[in-house]
Amino acid sequence: MDDQRIRLPARTLLDCASTDQLCIVRTQEYEVIVVPVFLIGVSVILLAIILWLRYRPRKPDEDDQRQDEQRKPSAGYINHAISLEELTLDQVLRTKDPSLQALEIPRGRIRQPLQLAGEGRFGPIYRTKLNGPEDGKEKDVIIKRLRNSCGAQEIRDFLQRVAFQGWLGQHPNIVELLGCCPNEKPFCMVLENIEPGSLLHFLWDCRRDVMSMDGILYDLTECQVYTIALQVLSALGFLHQRKLFHGDLAARNILIHRNLTAKLTGLGGACEMRQTGTFPSRRPAPLKWMAPERLLRLPISAKSDVWSFGILLYEMITLGAPPYPEIPPNDILQHLQRGNIMKRPPTCKPAMYNVMKICWLWKAPERPSLPELRKRLESAKKASNDKTVLQVPEQVVPELYAGVAGTEFMRIENDYTVL
């Protein structure tokens, strides 16, 4: 009886008599079909509700709240969530790094008129003199000025890089930032003046039979190459201690003083790394100076700078020859993957070449640390020649050099592209 009461509704639907055995079989078949269909229907409805809740249009107040959270500026820098269209000069000045105020130099201390020395990424570069704050004693300086036509985004980038240079602090082998004018146009930074300037151009000049600085004949010896290399290594260690990488170590990014003091420049990658926490992997740089891991777009490390340091040694001992002169720039990765490295140049002794070779080990962990490199360089310097002048008879044609080196897209000038 209980079983009949349970099945009665189904039998009614099918117009079955209670004694019809065939109808009972059909009733069971009906139940087998209806139950799964019902469960599937419920599942579809639940899934539709979940999707609607997940992807329904948000209310305006929810969007506003989320945008407000994104627009809150981080300490020292403008939050990157602010779109370029929204960024204004007023926002840039209100949210600029507070440390810039301590670096401010009154414009009255900068002697006018300025002498145009070149053109950099942000604008014109000038030479002039800076009056001392108390005694008025003049000092030769470089002024890097931002173009007046630059928008808020470029102003922000410029001020961030000035702030980075100030945060980095002083080092005898990094160009010193003397101050800046950060509060109104024209924005500018004031740097120490280093002459003759570009190490790469200095090396090319050393190929001449007679070269002079301030009227004094000057040439380069193997021992002096070691001296410059050790100074660059010191500046590189200064960056690495701050958990930063250079990423483009080359003769074109080093300035040389009359007394052969080297000053490392080209710190734009390090500046971006400090802001984001990682080195900008797609930052443009000539391929022939890159370590294999960077060519492969893998994460780089301090050992990537060690690879480039070996290329720098090659540049100096050859008086500015382009690396891998027989290999097109776009073929350099394939060349290295075959286990090839540069041969020892005629002007390079085995001791220096051995240092180069360990810098060019394929596996980054196998390359030497900076302290180990320093020991090797100091040891080799003691046995180096400080009398015989390096001689390379061929003169460099800058346009041909750029094609072989793969630097056509870069500005290689005797200027102060410091950041």
Grade residue 376 by pLDDT with cuts at 50, 70 and 90. very high
In CATH, what number is assigned to the domain containing residue 94? 3.30.200.20
Same-domain check for residues 120 and 220: no
Same-domain check for residues 285 and 384: yes
Same-domain check for residues 345 and 307: yes
Q: Distance of alpha carbon 143 from its chain centroid, rounded?
A: 23
Whether 381 shows a pLDDT value over 70: the answer reads yes
pLDDT digits (tens, 9 = 90+) for 113-138: 899 988 888 899 999 999 988 777 89
Portion of the chain with pLDDT greater than 70, in percent: 78
Q: What domain range includes position 134?
A: 89-192
Predicted local confidence at residue 88, as pLDDT: 79
Helices first, then strands: H and E counts in the chain:
15, 10
Predicted local confidence at residue 55, as pLDDT: 64
Residue 267: inside a domain:
yes
Residue 74: inside a domain:
no
pTM value > 0.95: no
Predicted local confidence at residue 60, as pLDDT: 41
Whether 66 shows a pLDDT value over 60: the answer reads no
Same-domain check for residues 181 and 276: no
Number of domains composing the chain: 3
- CA gap 92, 76 in Å, rounded: 11
Same-domain check for residues 215 and 265: yes
Q: How large is the average pLDDT for residues 97-111?
A: 89
Predicted local confidence at residue 65, as pLDDT: 44
Same-domain check for residues 137 and 211: no
Grade residue 74 by pLDDT with cuts at 50, 70 and 90. very low
User: Where is the domain boundary, 166, 192, 218?
Assistant: 192
Same-domain check for residues 250 and 344: yes
pLDDT digits (tens, 9 = 90+) for 158-195: 999 999 999 999 999 999 999 999 888 889 999 999 99
Spell out the residues 6+ positions from residue 105 whose beta carbon is closer than 8 angstroms to its own.
Answer: 130, 178, 179, 180, 181, 190
The answer to whether 108 touches 114, Cβ cutoff 8 Å, is: no
Predicted local confidence at residue 101, as pLDDT: 87
Residue 79: inside a domain:
no
User: Where is the domain boundary, 158, 173, 192?
Assistant: 192
The answer to whether 173 touches 234, Cβ cutoff 8 Å, is: yes
**Residue for token digits 């997940």?**
54
Predicted local confidence at residue 410, as pLDDT: 67
Same-domain check for residues 111 and 253: no
pLDDT digits (tens, 9 = 90+) for 307-319: 999 999 999 999 9
In CATH, what number is assigned to the domain containing residue 211? 1.10.510.10
The answer to whether 145 touches 155, Cβ cutoff 8 Å, is: no
Portion of the chain with pLDDT greater than 90, in percent: 59
Same-domain check for residues 326 and 342: yes
Same-domain check for residues 311 and 264: yes
Q: Distance of alpha carbon 374 from its chain centroid, rounded?
A: 25
- CA gap 248, 65 in Å, rounded: 42
Residue 114: inside a domain:
yes
Catalytic residue among 97, 157, 219, 248: 248
Whether 212 shows a pLDDT value over 70: the answer reads no
Q: Is residue 305 annotated as a catalytic residue, yes or no?
A: no
Residue 163: inside a domain:
yes
Three-state DSSP at 257 gives strand
Whether 78 shows a pLDDT value over 50: the answer reads no
User: Where is the domain boundary, 192, 213, 228?
Assistant: 192
Same-domain check for residues 7 and 148: no
Structure tokens at 354: 């051995």
Q: How large is the average pLDDT for residues 45-63?
A: 64
Same-domain check for residues 205 and 175: no
Residue 286: inside a domain:
yes
**Residues in a beta bridge with 213:** 216
Which of 5-9, 106-110, 192-196, 325-329 is the least confident region?
Answer: 5-9
Helix, strand and coil percent figures for the chain, each rounded to 5 = 45, 10, 40
Residue 368: inside a domain:
yes
Predicted local confidence at residue 67, as pLDDT: 38
Residue 78: inside a domain:
no
Whether 82 shows a pLDDT value over 50: the answer reads no
Q: Which residue has the higher pLDDT, 74 or 269?
A: 269
